Each structure stands twice: as C-alpha cells, then as structure tokens.
Amino acid sequence: MKRRDFLKSASALAATTAVSAPAIFSPAKAQGRQETLLVISESGPNNIDIHGVGTNVPGYEVSWNCYDRLISHEMKDVNGTAYYNKDKFKMELADDMNVGDMSATFKLKKNAVFQDGTPVTAKDVKWSLDRAVSVGGFPTFQMGAGSLTKPEQFVVVDDNTFRVDFAKKDRLTIPDLAVIVPCIINSELVKTHATEKDPWGMEYTKQNTAGSGAYRVVQWTAGTEVILERNDKWVGGPLPKIKRIVWRMVPSAGNRRALLERGDADISYELPNKDFVELKEAGKLNIVSTPFSNGILYLGMNVKNPPFDNLKVRQAVALAVPYQKIMDAVQYGLAKPMFGAPADKPTEVAWPQPTKFNTDIEKAKKLMAEAGYPNGFETTLSFDLGFATVNEPSAVLIQESLNLIGIKTTINKIPGSNFRTELNKKVLPLYINVFSGWLDYPEYFFIWCYHGKNSIFNTMSYQSKDMDAFIDGAVNAAAIGDKANYEKDVKGFVDLAFADVPRVPIFQPYVNVAMQKNVSGYQYWFHRRLDYRALVKG
C-alpha cells in the first residue's frame, strides 16, 4: 500500500465513522452504569489462558484480572500516575512470604477459594507452577527467565504451605513469581477436562476461567466482546468497586473516539496518538500517558537468511528508517525517540536507550551497493493488525523510505489473533513489533530478545556467542551483587546489539489511556493492560 493510498483510505474511513458510532452500551445499562465499566479497544484476546499457545497481549488482561498469583507489587506515584513498584512486593494469594538463602516459603490465605467455591490448597499451587514450566513455549521460557525450570522446585509442605526451591541465586526469581504466568489454577476442575492428548486441560482453559481472582469471564465472543463479573469470594485484596466489565472490540478508531466523546464508553487505551493529543487539549476526558517500562517498538530482520544475514544491509535499513516522520506523523510526540544519540555519547547501564542511527538515505544507498545489492531487492514487511493504529501508518512510512534505497516491500497485515504464532515461527523477513520486558532490568530484555539459546522473542534468529556471554555474565553478576562486572556486561550487550543491528529500535511507546472524568484508579502495570480491580466510577 502506498502512503497516499493509505491516507486516502484513512480519510474515507474517518468520513464514514464520523456519521454515527454504534450505541454499544445498551446491554450494560440493565446492569447499572455505576457498577459496570465499558472498555473499548482495537482488538481482543485470542485465548484467555496465559499458558496457551500463542496467547496474544489482550489475553494477558483477562488472565491478570481472573487469576491470583502468590505475590504482586506495591504501587508508587510516578508523575501523578499510580505505577507498580518493581522493588516492593505485597501478598496476593499468599498470606506470608519467607525468603531464605536458597528457597522461599509461602503461607496461603486460609479463606482463599476458587470461583466455584473450592478451597485453594498448596497442591493447586504446585500443579499450576508445574504446568507453567512444562507446557513449553512462552510460559515455560518466562518461568525459566527467573531460574524456575523444574517441577521438583515446587514443594507442597502441607495443605496451606508451599515452598519454591531456587535452582541458583538469581535476582529475577522472586520478581518472576509476580508476573502473569505463575497464576494459580483450580487443578481439580481443570483435570476433569484433561485428556491424554491434552494433559493440562488447555482446551478448557482457553475458553473458561478457572481461578481464584477478582473477576471471572461469563461470556466471550472472540473478536467481539468479553464480559466479566466480579468474584465476590475474592480475598486477594480489597473487593473491587466495579461489579461488571463489558469489554468490546471496536476496530474503527473513529468509532472508539466517538463512543468516548459521547460518553457511551468509559475507557479506551488504543486510539491514534493524534486523537489522544486532541482529546487532552479538549479537556473533556482524563488522558494518562506513561512510557512502556523496558519496552521499544522496533523493526526486526531475520538475520539467518539472505539478504538480512548481511550486516551492511541491516545497517542500510537502520539508516533508511524515517524516524522523525514516524515520531511526528504517527506518534505526535507521544513516545521517546530511540535514535539520534550524539556520536560521542557513552553507553549507559540502562535499557532502553537510543542508538546513534539517524535517517541518511545516501549513506544507506552506499551500504546497499557495498553489500552487493546496488539495485535492491524485494521482501515483505509484516505487522500485527490488532494494533493497526500505530503499525499501519508506520509500515507505510517505512515502505516509502526503504523504496528510496531499492528495497521494495509488500506490506503483510497479520491478524492479531495469529501474529504471535507467526512471529514465533521466526520466518518473517522484516517486521514491526513491540516488546516490553515484564521485569524491568536490562538483562531481562536481552534474555528474551537477543540470547541465542531457546529465546522465544529472538525472532531475528540472531546468534552470537559474545552476546550470550554478556547476557549470562550480567545475570550472574546481578545475582551476587558484583556491580562492576554487571555494568561492564550490560554496556557490552547494548554495544553489540547496536553494532550487529538485528533489530532497529525506533521509539519507546507510551501507554495512552482515555477515561471519562468519573473514572479513577488507573494503575500502570508492567504488562501494560488494565487492572480492573483498582478502577472506580463515581
């Protein structure tokens, strides 16, 4: 799609959506507007089990609100927004946590029950964590990022006491118990739906919640709607004020904006940035913008196969990206640039941080010729259609700019329900994606995205023994408090990532949330999704 065609189609869409947006709140009115929250977004979950194969980012939101974990995070204030405190934990399903030298012991809340009234026991906790480290794919790798790899590490002491044995000293182990994956599942219920081919009952949990969390799914129509109701038996925290969540998928950004402006929707967090800027200026809604913790939007290249196995081609791509055009025309300033650092700027012990690349078409052309591609080549440029408001205009601008150095791209729009699966096949030659590390440490991001050993989100198929050594070194140094070697290794892996450039950082996105003035309690979490438990209407 050419840029002018995209802009023309966008204008036509805006014209059609400006006439009238669908009145989609009527079913919720019967439940009482005060206790019902209407959430609208561009896309929805493809699976409501965080352990499922290819569960997409919207699926995280369901899991977070419907399941408990042993522990969670306290909140802190960051520029007026409630923001999770990565260094302070609070109890959720556990009543007490005792961390020893090589283990952590948890006492469970004695009055905790699953949504069907079944008491939560240490056996359920063990079965759930055994499942997480055994199903493979993303959940198992996530557990492994905190050195949680074997069922033998999870020990039932008694019905109310559970122990995690550490495989080694790793500062990521305890934080990793507070992310979405180690959720506690009603094991006896799910076992009744398990089969020989599906021993963990994943077909059942794909469409049914089986947790002890604050909400439960009562209706889900894929691509259209998720309805959740409060679990009044929840003991993981203060009982939420909102009794019912109606989450509707409204693909048209124009319709989402119209619904907010009319007051028919309560909250939305997926609008074009231009809309967020205009809505903030209008002053009729509350707009909150928060940088993704440990996250970037980037242009990835599969370095295993030609032509992106050639370093000079990758450098040429990095010099052809129209960084500032994307910042201005797509982000409207609501993002942090991850490009254009001064040539003499020293590498920081931090992530994310900007590269020293800027748009330089002539230099990019020269590198293409040196790489043996003076006339360029053809390839595909893929993106997640579930987040088209940012991805599509970015793809059009990148397509236009790459064409100037001879790289002719065909834009490949992958439905949001399939994107994670396609990405993890590691066959896409060129793609736009966002990755945000749940644990806000530089080495954690690089474990996921650059390590050569079984790294799920190393979708570039990048292999470097030096990179692996830097990442492993940083993990080990952090575990023993070796600050000097930690800083050396972090700088080492950042420098190498920018030198080998298997992916091109473009910007650090913001989570932008638009809410009616009577909605409060928004909290920013590492997973970037809504926590319904804290939201209030009044």
pLDDT in tens, 215-262: 999 999 999 999 999 999 999 999 999 999 999 999 999 999 999 999
Half-sphere exposure in the Cβ direction for 322 (13 Å, CA):
19
Going by C-alpha positions, the residue among 521, 529, 517 that lies closest to residue 75 is 521
CA-based nearest residue to 187, from 206, 203, 201: 201
Report helix, strand or coil for 90.
Answer: strand
Confidence of residue 91 (pLDDT cuts 50, 70, 90): very high
Q: What is the pLDDT of residue 269?
A: 86
Say yes or no to pLDDT of 113 above 80.
Answer: yes
Q: Is the predicted pLDDT of residue 16 greater than 90, yes or no? A: no
Fold of 24-64+213-284+517-537: D-Maltodextrin-Binding Protein; domain 2 (3.40.190)
The model's pTM: 0.89
Six-digit token string for 158: 């008694």
Q: Is the pLDDT of residue 156 over 50?
A: yes
Displacement of CA 297 from its chain's centroid (Å): 11
Q: How confident is the model at residue 1, as a pLDDT?
A: 43
Express each pLDDT in 171-211 by its tens digit.
999 999 999 999 999 999 999 999 999 999 999 999 999 99
* Chain segment 268-284, per-residue pLDDT in tens: 988 999 999 999 999 99
Q: Do domains 24-64+213-284+517-537 and 295-509 have the same CATH topology?
A: no
User: At residue 423, does pLDDT exceed 90?
Assistant: yes
Residue 31 has pLDDT above 70, yes or no: no
CATH 1.10.3720.10 for the 295-509 domain, yes or no: no
- Alpha-carbon span 436 to 86, nearest angstrom: 14
Report the percent of the chain where pLDDT is more than 70: 94
412 in helix, strand or coil? strand
For strand 295-301 and strand 503-516, is the pairing parallel, antiparallel, or unpaired? antiparallel
Does residue 272 have a cis bond before it (omega within 30 degrees)? no
Superfamily in which the 85-191 domain is placed by CATH? Dipeptide-binding Protein; Domain 1 (3.90.76.10)
CB distance 169 to 479 below 8 Å: yes
* Nearest in space to 141 (alpha carbons), one of 459, 448, 451: 448
| Domain locations along the chain | 24-64+213-284+517-537, 85-191, 295-509
Residue 397 clears pLDDT 80, i.e. is over it? yes
Mean pLDDT of 355-381: 98
Rounded Cα distance, 198 and 179, in Å: 25
Compute the radius of gyration of the chain from its Cα atoms: 23
Q: The tokens 């960084």 sit on which residue?
A: 323
Residues in the chain: 538
Decide: helix, strand or coil at residue 490. helix
